[in-house]
Amino acid sequence: MTKFWGGYIILLTLVCLGLIVWLLFATRKGQRPDQTDETVGHSFDGIEEYDNPLPRWWFMLFLATLAFGAVYLILYPGLGQYRGLLGWTQIDQYELEVERMQEQFAPIFARYTSMPVEEVAKDPEAIRIGQRLFATNCSVCHGSDARGAFGFPNLADDDWLWGGTPERIKETITLGRQAAMPAWLAVVGDKGVRDVSGYVRSLSGRDSEKADLEAGKTIFQTNCVACHGPEGKGNNMLGAPDLTDEVWLYGSSMLQVQQTVRYGRNGNMPSQAHLGEDKIHMLASYVYSLSQEEGETVDVGAHRSEQ
């Protein structure tokens, strides 16, 4: 915060407090000291208010509130860049609470960190901890059940873009991933997009929808094999998906596949290195455990794991 805005906040706060004090005393000074049957002259939903002074206890309560506010602003930060006499800050309080939690839970994390991911993935207590970490850091993209959504990978199946071994999962969580499917419209044209999209769909047994499969195959062999391989099986090292299965991250309809080929796709898995090695180990164990459970593969355009 700059000095200008700090001073502006201080001035605005003090002026507002001063006006409140003035209004409180000014209105009380003009009131009758005794009780009266006269009203203020207005009706509020059929209710009329007597023109009597504010009760003394109510007036004193206002003063006590203002005094408390003044003391608070002296002791704690609330006036621009002024830190308060006690020197308390939200950041210091947060760091103190984090330090306390680290001391409390560090032994638990240390015990599990010394175990292989495969063993941790079988421990019910560890899974519960990993599930809470997942809910806090990952569910916003992958969903609370880890089954993803359109453009966000399903982590509960056995299909992995970047590999599903414990080492690869930890690497993905720690470093993040940047997937890039280039746009091919300028290279192959509209007809080429349609033909290669039909060919790609045919690799998983889908209808080519009147596309020229031979032409599409030629385009695929010329432009796509470098990432997806000659048979379209993908490449974990590059994060290139297998095009021959039933799992589609951005949808498998002809229109959706053409959209992907025509304009490309860019997926980003952010790095979670800020969690620290111990929490990443727990999180990787939980994600790994999900893929060890057999589940149904549903083609809703959102079930290709990115890990």
Q: Does 181 belong to an annotated binding site?
A: yes
Contact (Cβ atoms closer than 8 angstroms) between residue 150 and residue 287: no
The number of helix segments (H) and strand segments (E) in the chain equals 12, 4
Q: Phi and psi (nearest 5°) for 255?
A: -65, -40
Q: Locate tokens 């209105």: which residue?
A: 27
Q: Locate tokens 């414990």: which residue?
A: 166
The Cβ-side half-sphere exposure at 150, using a 13 Å CA radius, reads: 7
Long-range interactions of 178-181: CB distance < 8 A, separation 24+ = 178/266, 178/267, 178/268, 178/269, 179/239, 179/265, 179/266, 179/267, 179/268, 179/269, 179/306, 180/264, 180/265, 180/266, 181/260, 181/264, 181/265, 181/266
User: At a CB cut-off of 8 Å and minimum separation 6, what does 20 contact?
Assistant: 66
**Tokens representing residue 123 in the block:** 């421990």
Q: Does 141 belong to an annotated binding site?
A: yes
Q: Does 227 belong to an annotated binding site?
A: yes
Q: Does 281 belong to an annotated binding site?
A: no
DSSP letter at 288 equals: H
DSSP letter at 73 equals: H
Between the alpha carbon of residue 278 and those of residues 65, 94, 103, 164, the distances in Å are: 47, 20, 13, 19
User: Minimal CA–CA distance to 173: which of 249, 265, 286, 250?
Assistant: 286
How far, in Å, CA of 106 to CA of 85, rounded?
34
Q: Does 16 belong to an annotated binding site?
A: no
Annotated binding site: 138, 141-142, 181, 224, 227-228, 269
Q: Which residues are annotated as a binding site for heme c?
A: 138, 141-142, 181, 224, 227-228, 269
